[in-house]
Amino acid sequence: MLGLSLCREGKFAEAERLYGAVLQKTPNQFDALLNLGRILLRRGKAAQALDLMRRAVAVNPQSPDASIELGNTLTSLDRHEDAVGCYQRSIALRPNDALAHAQLGTALLLLGRNDAAIGEFRTAIALKPQFPQAHHNLGIALVRLGRLDEAIEHFRTATTLDPTFSAAFDNLAAALRRRGRFDEAVAAYRQSISLKPDNAAVHDLLGATLQRLGRYREAVEAHKAALAIAPGSAPAHRGLGNALFNLDRHEEAVLCYQRSIALKPDYATAFSDLGLTLDQLGRRAEALDAFEKAFELAPENIEFHYKMMDSKRFAAGDRQLETLERMAEAMPSHSAEDQIRLHFILAKAYDDLGDPSRAFEHLANGNALVRRTVPYDEVAQRRSFERIHNAFDAELIRAKSGMGHPSAAPVFILGMPRSGTTLVEQILAAHPGVSASGELTNFPDAVAALKGPDGRALAYPELARSMNRKQLFELGAAYIASLPTPLPLPDRITDKMPGNFTFVGLIHLALPNARIIHVRRDPLDTCFSCYSKLFLGGHSYSYDLGELGRFYRDYERLMAHWSAVIPVGTMLDIQYEELVGDFEGQARRLVAHCGLEWDARCLAFHDAARPVRTASFTQVRRPLYSNSISRSRPYKDMLGPLVEALAARAPIEADGDYPTRN
C-alpha cells in the first residue's frame, strides 16, 4: 500500500525499491508484480517489465488487468501480434471494458489491420463515448483508409473532449490539409502550438500550410519559430526557403536551401528547390548541377523532373529521358497528379527531339487528365465576357474618365498567357526607371474588396455603372497602396498579370494615367503554347482544344471592344512577331508609351538582374530568338478542334446557344 501511495505521488524510484523488497519476501505477490511491472514500463524498462507481467498473469490468469498490462508491455517492445492475443484474452474476461477494446484497436492499427482496428475503436466508443484517445486513434485508422471527412470529425471530438490533447490537434490539422481546408488546418496547428510551444515540427507544418494559403510573410515567421527551437532542422530551413522564394526573395531562399543541404546532404527535395530557384535567377549551370544531384538521389521523383524540364533541351540518348520512358511504362501505378506531370514532361522531351507525333500524344493525354479534374463552365465564362462587353460601353467610359487616382506609375502588361507578356516586362525591367513586379493579383483583389452601402461585395462588371468619383479614386488608391514598391520610388511599376485584360475598362477609370500594354501573338501559336503548358493554377479553359479556341475568340472580341471604347493612346498593342522582327523599333515604342526616355539597356533585356517566375522564365534569359514564331506549325494537322474554333469568329449572342461538354 505504501508503494501504491508513492506511485500516486510520482515517486517511482522509491516505489520500485519498495516493490522489489516485497517480491524478495513474497515472489508471487500479485499486486507487487503488477505494480512494479507498470513502474518499469513507465520508466522505459519494458524488457524487465515483461517478465513481471508474465508472472502476474501466471499467478492470476483470471485478471483482465494483468492481460492488458502484458499486452501494453508487448506493444512497447513492438511485439504487436503477441499483444493482440493478450488484449483479446482480457476482453474475453471482461467484455465491456472500453480500454481493452481501444488497446486492441491500437495493436491492430500498428499491424496495419485498419478495418479490424476501426471495429474495436467503435466498440470502445460505444462503451465509453467520452473517450478522447479512442476517437483520436479511430481518426488515424480512417485517414489510412482515405476516409478523411470521418477522420476529421473524430479528431475534432477528441479535441473537444480533451482540449489539451496536442497530438489530436496535430492529426486534425494534417487531415484538414489533405482535404484542402487550409484555414481550418492553420487554426488547429496554432492550437497545438499553444499547448506545446516548443514543438518545432508543428511550427514548420504551420508554415507550410500558410504557404498553401499564399500567406508567405506569416509562413516566414512560422518557419523562423521552428528554427529558433531546432536550428539544425533541415526541413525547416527548406520551408523558410520556400516561403522566401514565394516572396521573390530568391537570393535569401538560395541560402536557406544550401543550409538545409549542409545539414542533410541527401536531401533530394532541397536540391530540386535550389535548382528551380537558381534557374529563375538565371544561374543556369548551377541550377542544372542542383537538379542532377536531386535526380541522383531520387531518380524517379516525377516532381523533380517536372521542375527542371524547361531548364534544358532533351537530346537523343539522354539518360534522363530513358528514366522517364521507363517510368511511363508503369503509368497507371503513378498518382493522377504524377501521371499528368509525366505526360507534360515527355511531351516537352519529344518536342525537343523533333518528334511532334509522340509529343502530341502525351500532350493530349496529359490535358485530358487535367480536364477531368479541373472544373470549367464554358457557358458561364462566355456570358461573363458578354456582361463585361455590355457594362463598359463608350458612353460610360466618356462619362467617368478622369475620375480615378492620378498616379502614372502603373504599367499593366496584359493579354493571353504565352503571348509574350514576360518578354515585354523583361525589356522594360532593364530600364533604370522601371520596377518589374511580375504577375500581381492586386487589381482583381482590390475590385473584389469593393463593398456597397449594405456592406455586401459589389458585382463585377455591373459595379461600374454605380461607382462615383470618390469610389473610383479610392479603388485606384487602394491598388497603388498595395503595390510592392521599392525604394527609391521608381518612375514606373509593371503589373504583368495577363488576365487583367478583363479589367481594362475599370483600370482606365480607376487609374486614368496608367499605361496599358496589350501583347498579341499568332492565335494558333498562342493557344498551342497554352495547351503545351501545365499551369499551376487558373486557365482552366486551356485543357481542351475546342474550349481553348472559343476562349481565345471571346478574348479577342473583348480586346477589340476595349480598343474601341477607351481613349486613343491609353493602350499600346504589341505584336509578338513584330517585336521579334523589329526588336529595337518595337522596344522604343514600349519605352515611349511608358513616358520614359530611351535607354539602350533595354536591348540587353536578358541580362536584367531579377528573378522571373512565369512559365517563360527560361526564354527571357536568352537573347532574342525567333523559335517561338510558327511554334504550332509541326502540330497543325493534330489541332483540328482548335483550328475550327478559332475560325468560327461569329459574334456571341448573350442568350444564344453555347456548346456543352459531355
List pLDDT tens digits, range 437-472: 889 999 999 999 998 888 888 999 999 999 999 999
State yes or no: pLDDT of 248 exceeds 90.
no
Q: Which residues contact 295 (CB under 8 A, 6 or more apart)?
A: 301, 304, 305, 320, 323
pLDDT at res. 310: 82
58, β-bridge pairs: none
What is the model's pLDDT at position 132?
Answer: 96
- pLDDT greater than 60 at residue 94: yes
Question: How much is the average pLDDT of 307-327?
Answer: 87
Nearest partner of 256 among 275, 284, 236, judged by Cα:
236
Grid cell for residue 570: 491609353
Q: Could you write out the DSSP letters of every residue in 360-396?
A: HHHHHHHHHHHHHHS---HHHHHHHHHHHHHHS-HHH
Residue pLDDT, tens place only, 126-167: 999 999 999 999 999 999 999 999 999 999 999 999 999 999
Q: Which residue has the cell 522566401?
A: 244
What average pLDDT does the structure give for the chain? 89
Distances (CA, A) of 330 to 323, 327, 335, 350, 503: 12, 6, 11, 19, 45
Q: Count of CB atoms within 10 A of residue 195's CB?
A: 15
What is the percent of the chain where pLDDT is above 90? 69
Among 3.30.70.580, 3.40.50.300, 3.30.1330.10, 2.40.10.10, name the CATH number for the domain at 393-523+569-630.
3.40.50.300
All structural domains of the chain with their residue ranges: 313-373, 393-523+569-630
Helix axes 80-93, 64-76, angle to 10 degrees: 170
User: Quick check: 613 pLDDT over 70?
Assistant: no
Arithmetic mean of pLDDT, 629-646? 93
What would the pLDDT profile of 589-606 be if each residue is shown by its tens digit? 999 999 999 999 999 877
Distance of CA 127 to the CA centre of its chain: 42
- CB–CB of 605/430 below 8 Å? yes
- Give residue 661's pLDDT: 32
The model's pLDDT over 171-198, given as tens digits with 9 standing for 90+, comes to: 999 999 999 899 999 999 999 999 999 9
| For range 6-13, the mean pLDDT | 70
| Mean pLDDT of all residues in 409-433 | 94
Percent of the chain with pLDDT over 70: 93
pLDDT value for 607: 67
The mean per-residue pLDDT over the stretch 54-68 comes to: 85
What sign has the CA pseudo-torsion 311, 313, 314, 315? negative
Predicted confidence (pLDDT) per residue in 188-230, tens digit: 999 999 999 999 999 999 999 999 988 999 999 999 999 999 9
pTM: 0.74
What confidence tens digit (pLDDT) does each residue in 249-271 have?
A: 999 999 999 999 999 999 999 99
C-alpha Rg value of the chain to the nearest Å:
32
Q: Is the pLDDT of residue 653 over 80?
A: no
Residue 74: CB partners within 8 Å, gap ≥ 6?
50, 80, 82, 83, 86
The grid cell for 553 is 475568340
Backbone φ and ψ for 435, nearest 5 degrees, come out as -110, 120
